[in-house]
Amino acid sequence: MPSHDDERPTPSDDPAAATDAYDQLEDADENGATNGASASSRQWRTLWRTHFYAGIIAAPVLLLFAVTGLVILYTQPYLDATQGHLPTVKDRGDWVSFEAQKAVAEAKTNAAVTSVVLPRNATAATEFGLNTGDSAFVDPYTKEFLGTANPDGGLVGLANRLHGTFNNESVTVKLPAIAGVLDGGPVMQDFVVGDLLLEVFACWALVLVASGLYLWWPRKSRAAGGRAGKALVVPRLSKKGRARWRDLHAIPGMVVAAGTVFVLVTGMFWSSYWGTNFASFANKVTPNTWVDAPNSEVATVGSLDRLGHKITWNTGDAAIPDSDSTGIDPADLPAQVSLDLIVAAGTDEGM
């Protein structure tokens, strides 16, 4: 994003004159000129080349992020259009119990249910996640088994893999990690190569933005005729040739720079190398407060209704302490909480 007002000599808008001007700058450097203008021109060309190569490296990946991100964002409309026979049902009044729907899903697939997605409206099916990685769909009104789908397959699955690991999770490399030092683990840890490549490209995108803003930033004083105010953010469409194309590139780039940096930096928190190491550093600087929690007592349905009964657990990354059932007759243990009760509790909480 070249600047409107820079310290280097400004060539004419005529392409031939512009070429002659840059040739003169090159000749001045080759002849050993050491004045301020020559030094400024060398610095300018270095920054321009850095910006150019950063764009060559980062632009394809930024386009990949944008396209795959849109697919992920509009996953549900896409699935509705391509798999409408699975998640769509007719509104028939009241739902049957989720336990009954779960039993149908497990019986038809010979797999165990690991998660459930409630119908999002009156014409949507219940989606059960299976331990095979597939999703099973059941009509919540009739318990009819509608079929299965692989959420990691098709366009949506490919978009998720490209967006997260460059569609490559099998190839890993060992790298030193500060997380190992801070957490007391091994210093050399395995990281997915595809994820590392995306992190590198994201860093080059930050270089692209930083160098572009530097090239756009005005350096001439306003008293000396430098452009300011509205002129800095309005392209000079009346100009011809290089000046107009420069403005059409620089000004939109300047406008989207903050959003680009925000998206890149926040995305880095999800990366395997930078994100993992940053999380370890943050936990070291602002550690969690750990307590020696006692084992939970034998639970009953009433103790799970959030009416003052505490269930021991720490953070989301820590395992929930197991209850100690040593010496307790299995017949005295409470029945497993039903899926319907869990759904009711979540509904009451607005989940």
Instruction: Look over the chain and give the mean of its residue pLDDT values, rounded to a whole number.
Output: 78
Interhelix angle for 339-348 vs 98-109, to 10°? 130
Domain containing 315: what range?
301-348
Condensed to tens digits (0 to 9), the pLDDT of residues 121-174 reads 999 999 999 999 999 999 999 999 999 998 888 899 999 999 988 888 888 999
Confirm if 177 and 277 have CB atoms less than 8 A apart: yes
Q: pLDDT-derived band of residue 22, with 50, 70 and 90 as boundaries?
A: very low
Burial class for 101, CB neighbours closer than 10 Å (0-12, 13-18, 19+): buried
Q: What is the pLDDT of residue 33?
A: 45
Condensed to tens digits (0 to 9), the pLDDT of residues 181-226 reads 888 888 899 999 988 999 999 999 999 999 998 888 876 544 445 5
Residue 333 placed within a domain: yes
Q: What is the pLDDT of residue 306?
A: 47
Work out how many domains the chain is built from and give that number. Answer: 1
The maximal CA–CA distance of the chain, rounded, in angstroms, is 95
| DSSP class per residue in 95-110 | PPPHHHHHHHHHHHHT
Judged by DSSP in three states, 251 sits in helix
Confirm if 167 and 194 have CB atoms less than 8 A apart: yes
Condensed to tens digits (0 to 9), the pLDDT of residues 246-272 reads 888 888 888 889 999 999 998 888 888
Residue 105 placed within a domain: no
Supply the pTM of this predicted model. 0.64
What is the percent of the chain where pLDDT is above 70? 73
In angstroms, the CA 249 to CA 256 distance is: 11
In angstroms, the CA 271 to CA 167 distance is: 14
Q: What is the pLDDT of residue 7?
A: 42
Residues in the chain: 351
Residue 244 has pLDDT above 60, yes or no: yes
Residue 277 placed within a domain: no
Residue 310 placed within a domain: yes
| Cβ atoms within 10 Å of 42's Cβ, excluding its own | 16
The upper half-sphere exposure of residue 140, i.e. CA atoms within 13 Å in the direction of its Cβ, equals 22
Higher local confidence (pLDDT), 315 or 200: 200
Residue 311 placed within a domain: yes
Q: What is the pLDDT of residue 11?
A: 43
In angstroms, the CA 64 to CA 276 distance is: 23
Residue 325 placed within a domain: yes
Q: Are strands 145-149 and 135-138 parallel, antiparallel or unpaired?
A: antiparallel
**Identity of the residue numbered 39:** A
Neighbouring residues of 292: CB distance < 8 A, sequence distance ≥ 6: none
Residue 60 has pLDDT above 50, yes or no: yes
In angstroms, the CA 192 to CA 190 distance is: 7
Residue 72 placed within a domain: no
Residue 320 placed within a domain: yes
The upper half-sphere exposure of residue 216, i.e. CA atoms within 13 Å in the direction of its Cβ, equals 24
